[in-house]
Structure 1
Amino acid sequence: MKQTELFRATPKKPITARAAHWMPDAVRSTRDKLRLSVSFSAAERRIFRKPKPMAPSEWAEKHRVVTMSANPGPWRNSLTPYLAGIMDASASPFVREIYCQKCPQSGVTEAALTYVGYLADREPGPVLMTFSDENTCSEVAKDRLAPMFRTSARLQRYRTGRVDDESNTRVNLTHMPIYLAWASSSARLANKPIRYAISDEVDKPGYQATARQGEAAGLELIEKRMTTFPDRYKWWIFSSPTVPAGNIETRMAMADVVFDYHATCPTCSRSHKMSFENIKWDGGRTADPALLERDEKLTWYECPHCQARWDTLTRQDAVRLGGWRCRESGLSLPKTLETRRPRRIGFHLPAWVTPFVSSGKTAAAWLRGMKSANAMQDCFNSHLAEPYTGLSERRVETLALLRDSRPARIVPGNGIIAGLTAGCDTQDDGFWYEIRAWGYGVDRESWQIRSGFVQSFEALEQIIWQDKYRDSGGNEYMIAMAVIDAMGHRTAEIYDWCAKHRGLVVPFQGSARQQRPWRFSAIEHYPASAGKRANKPIPGGLQLLQANVNFYKDELARLWQIDPADPGAWHFHAETPDEWLAMLCHEYRDVHGQWSCPSGAANHGHDCSVYALVATDVLDMRYWERPVEVDPAPPPTSSQPAQSRRRW
């Protein structure tokens, strides 16, 4: 090994005899010509050498090898150019937290792993990678993280070679540890000083499991681990969104700057923010989703400037020519970082930016969502990368399109109505109600007849049984069944009222996880909360109607999306106020797939519609046969017996 001579010079002051008394005689005699030389090992020289600045995206193309992917091999920024911008922005010295609200399978997890490799090579420090559940944690450790260090010539040097140093929960390198944890385990998230954190799919239920166990929520526990690195930590937080109250949506709202991806048209060279409105397909709302998925020629992305049609390859070229831009100012990502110097940055990544999802799949997902609330939630979360709220307040105008020209209290004519049902939502100070008419047939087309609020049982009796509801021809219709909410502070009163009108009105209890859509349960006693009548027998007993409210709210969301000119549509009368429509829009599906209502938001109209809808199933109304009036038979003769005339 060659020696590096660090010093060869005559000392400014000769070494005196007293100072050199410890030296050997041969050295003491030549002390005035003393030369010092020091040598370093290759590892020491590598540490002392100042590294050349390198962006994470540049490092990735030189040293990263992708193993589990549809495109395995050396990392290529040209395949997913949007990831290069996210990684490079993460390396900015003033950026501390990076949020990404994304569609699934967009490559963000691979980008996070690449960033971990970059840190191991360029800026080592303890890393904590957190996943939604234990199985995902083990799979990433075994199938992605460990192979990344084995297949990269640059990263191999940091492996210790010991089997125990590469497990499903920890990877020990020669100079830093990488911890792996799942969000539901508070023990895995505790007692570790962390400089770098990667939090994957933070909207999954696992990140709230610790809160249900009496601990802080998963993200709060992770944040505490970085306390010892207040000005040097980096934290990636990314997920597909679920609901507005989800973790990723909350974090995106905390971002100092949010970026959207702008594509540049290869035809006109003008750029624009990529959006769902620019995805076009043949057939409109009547197109076959399966056909759009199979034949890519039926769907295209349209440039809003020159109306050029982009197929999948052209769309990828447009993405390569584009880049991230600030949502607020429109400035490019590098310029925004230079001028704003933000600590928290967010990226919105929908499916049409990625090369892995065709425009046909997105169009098919939207068309399926028009017929199913579950499918629409999947479209919002997986393609639009937006939280799904069922029907948000901004869609009150959409529900208003379901109003027809009828005034309130008028039933549609022409013999199309099978019957009427009523739904009543109980409050401490009164009752919200809705009366709906239902058409014949399995499509279950429905028309609102009347809705509102009253303060007493007497007023409710007046509306349900005493007021008359007629069609334009003067035919009168009676309410076949009324369903009233029996849970709350007035259960005993509701039971007494239902017993008084036995057979006409039934008490209701909603359930979120009941297996059957609805069922009756016999109740013989007043509930424990009934005051003086607690646990006393109910005269004659009652049948309590129990129904899976999630099932019926899914059905409602589907019915609201049917065009008013199509069979099975949900209609409102011309006088339905916007306030009533707003009550139908507050509920949303939470991270557990259950319908929830934000605190303080009124959803009484939604509940009334559910109760009226449940009543049609109890009555089997969709299977009622339309009555047919038959001409009377001819007069009987001596050889022909008399026949009875068919009646309505």
Structure 2
Amino acid sequence: MSDRERQRRKTAKLFRRVIRNTLSPKETLTVSEWAERYRVLDGTSNIQGKWSNDVTPYLRGIMDSFVDPAVRRIYFCKASQIGGTEAMLNMLGYIVTESPAPTMIVYPTDDLGKEVSNLRIKPAFRLIPEVKKVFKEQESKELELRFTTMTLFLNGAGSPSKLASKPIKYLFFDEIDKMGGASKKEASPFNLALERTKTYRPQEKVYACSTPTLRDNYIWNLHDGADEVRHYFVPCPNCGEMIELRFAQIRFEKDDEKQMSIAERAKTATYFCEKCGMEIKNESKPEMLRRGEWRAVRKRGIGAPRSVGFWINSLYSVFLKWEDVAEEFLKSYEDPEQLQNFTNSWLGEPWEDTKLKTTADTVQDRETEEEEFVVPSWAVFLTGGVDVQETSLYYTIRAWGEYTTSQNITHGQALGFEEIADAMNREYKTADGRKMVVKLCLVDSGYQADSTYDFCVSNSDWALPVKGSSNPMRDRYKISKVDRQGSRASGMQLVLVDGNQFKDSISARMRRENGKGSWMVFRGCDEEYRQQVTAEHKVVERSGGKEKTVWRLKHSHADNHYLDCEVYAMAAAEMCGVRSLHLATVQENEQEEKPKQPRKEDGWIQNVDGWMEGYT
């Protein structure tokens, strides 16, 4: 065969292949099918390699609702680390290769958007050949990822102008409950972003996922108000009935005499089917999940739903055992802050606490037998907080122990920073003579910033500047840097705190009886201090059709300087590791104690005062 003939046949084959590929109908994939065919997981995931829908079967229904022509809005209310972001990444990859169009993801802040872009989205796209070949990474920015056929925008919720321009077909919200609400001048970030989808209606798709916080925040309202609310049902391996996995069905040993460690009690955890009463072992969970299905538990209207709300808790995670959930609860139930985290992050339910009200009498009830300046015997370290005003400075010094137990040992009003230095550098003693000095003090830099920075530089071994955040933060505090040209403090650490979160903690602990985990004061604490630390209360505010709970002054001219001081002192304690102080004692006790024989006849979880009690 001549070269010319060989080349002619080769060309003919090429034309036939091009014609066949052009005329053949394109294979239609669902998002879950696309993920199983193309998605590759990297080292940031629990399981590396090719994506398998069998690992998290419940995500299949959520992902495939994205290609349901009737569904336009998908709301995923979930426990943490359950796969909401992974589902979103699969939807994004599907969009890029199968249905390219302008897309946007809204994050609580630009910084979080940049972090997710660099650590999650870009690495995921690089591992998918079909996406990588159209990904113009060199031309992309952190918040603007470009492809040959489309652009993916990432925006922080705090930039209203960016949320209200350019048409978008696909709109995503990640951790939507961390976003702020509407302001007096602007609609909520959620509504502003929705305006972008008008051009593409009714083909637009909106996906919002988050761990819930409060009942009146975004994700619970969106999921609960959807046309159809769906829960994941799995078959009991014993009776075959379809059931939901609920925390109330976990039973574990009671320990009235405090003879068992938390880990020992958690190991007795057993799950019982609500239908047949038989035990369901951890080993049965993977198969139960694979055979599970989403079912509507509430539906509004007739016909196919336009919005669907999905809800799921941590019991469905293949990476967790019943004892893991029980242990987290046992570590949390005595601490209001940790119990809220367990409710939100493990149960996937909103936190409701209508008792966040304190008065000066509440503080008086928290007085101990210790005199002012005397450090309690249980204290491990001291922290301080300083609120800077125009004519004076307010300060507090608080002792901290295991389980975030604390007591104010002194507070006062100073005329200058010299007095603050004297108070913080003074040696304070326990009743038996043990000496302590302040380990860390946070000094307010919001008012006299230059003076505060100079003071902190001169006392950098124990003082740091602090500033309250004007917007809700994902974390309780964040370490930033002083950016002040020509200042001695330029480059120094600056602590940003979410005052609302710390005030929640102070209020909750203040209402606990004196003892482990309580927030206490010295005997004979003065009225001025008591009034100031309770000068605010938590109220519901409505704006733009939304409600949110915030801390506000009870009276317009009330002073709250000592409350701010205590916020800074608690933030300093968390920076010093107060939350982990008890771990050494727990580990030591677990090594010393002999294993106890579980007593199957002892108590179960009981529903009292809303949902649970009886774990002492």
The TM-score normalised by the length of structure 2 is: 0.56
| Aligned residue-pair number | 399
CA contact (8 A) 2:252 2:266 kept: no
Matching residue of 1:57: 32
CA contact (8 A) 1:372 1:557 kept: no
* CA offsets 1:174-210 (integer angstroms, 9 cap, x no match): 1111111222223442422100011000111x444xx
Matching residue of 1:311: 281
Identity, % of aligned positions? 26
Q: 1:92 to 1:423 in 2, by over 3 A?
A: closer
CA contact (8 A) 2:266 2:326 kept: no
Q: 1:227 is paired with a residue of what secondary structure?
A: helix
Matching residue of 1:368: 331
Matching residue of 1:320: 290
Q: 1:214 to 1:275 in 2, by over 3 A?
A: same
Residue 130, structure 1, aligned to residue 101, structure 2: no
Q: CA deviation at 1:596?
A: 4.7
Residue 555, structure 1, aligned to residue 509, structure 2: yes
Give the AA of the match of 2:247: F
* Greater length-normalized contact order (CA 8 Å, ≥ 6 residues apart): 2
1:301 to 271, 291, 303: 271
CA contact (8 A) 1:264 1:271 kept: yes
Matching residue of 1:23: none
Matching residue of 2:89: 113
Q: 1:287 to 1:100 in 2, by over 3 A?
A: farther
Matching residue of 2:600: none
Q: CA deviation at 1:269?
A: 1.3
CA contact (8 A) 1:372 1:558 kept: no
Q: Once structures 1 and 2 are overlaid, which stretch shifts more, 271-280 or 231-240?
A: 271-280
Q: CA deviation at 1:243?
A: 0.8
Q: 2:198 is paired with a residue of what secondary structure?
A: coil
Matching residue of 1:230: 201
Matching residue of 1:356: 319
Give the AA of the match of 1:356: F
User: Larger radius of gyration, structure 1 or 2?
Assistant: 1
Matching residue of 2:223: 252
Q: CA deviation at 1:110?
A: 0.6
Alpha-carbon distance in 1 for matches of 2:244, 2:21: 45
Alpha-carbon distance in 2 for matches of 1:596, 1:306: 45
Matching residue of 2:41: 66
Written as runs of structure 1 = structure 2, the 5 A alignment for 1:412-423 is none
Matching residue of 1:417: none
Alpha-carbon distance in 1 for matches of 2:366, 2:155: 53
Gaps of 5+ in 1: 6-37, 330-335, 394-421, 425-432, 443-514, 523-547, 563-567, 569-584, 599-609, 611-648
Q: CA deviation at 1:559?
A: 4.6
Matching residue of 2:238: 267
Written as runs of structure 1 = structure 2, the 5 A alignment for 1:50-449 is 50-67=25-42, 68-160=44-136, 163-164=138-139, 166-204=140-178, 206-208=179-181, 211-212=182-183, 214-283=185-254, 291-292=262-263, 297-328=267-298, 340-390=303-353
Alpha-carbon distance in 2 for matches of 1:519, 1:2: 93
CA contact (8 A) 2:107 2:174 kept: yes
Q: 1:277 is paired with a residue of what secondary structure?
A: helix
Give the AA of the match of 1:55: T
Give the AA of the match of 1:131: Y
Q: CA deviation at 1:114?
A: 0.2
Matching residue of 1:621: none
Q: 1:286 to 1:247 in 2, by over 3 A?
A: farther
Give the AA of the match of 2:82: S
Q: Once structures 1 and 2 are overlaid, which stretch shifts more, 313-322 or 218-227?
A: 313-322
Q: CA deviation at 1:359?
A: 2.4
Q: CA deviation at 1:282?
A: 2.2
Q: CA deviation at 1:283?
A: 2.7
* CA offsets 1:355-395 (integer angstroms, 9 cap, x no match): 233322322332333311101111111111111112589xx
Q: CA deviation at 1:254?
A: 2.4
The TM-score normalised by the length of structure 1 is: 0.54
Q: 1:340 is paired with a residue of what secondary structure?
A: coil
Q: 1:560 to 1:223 in 2, by over 3 A?
A: farther
Alpha-carbon distance in 1 for matches of 2:203, 2:160: 24
Gaps of 5+ in 2: 1-7, 371-406, 415-501, 521-536, 543-547, 553-562, 564-616
Aligned-pair Cα RMSD in Å: 4.4
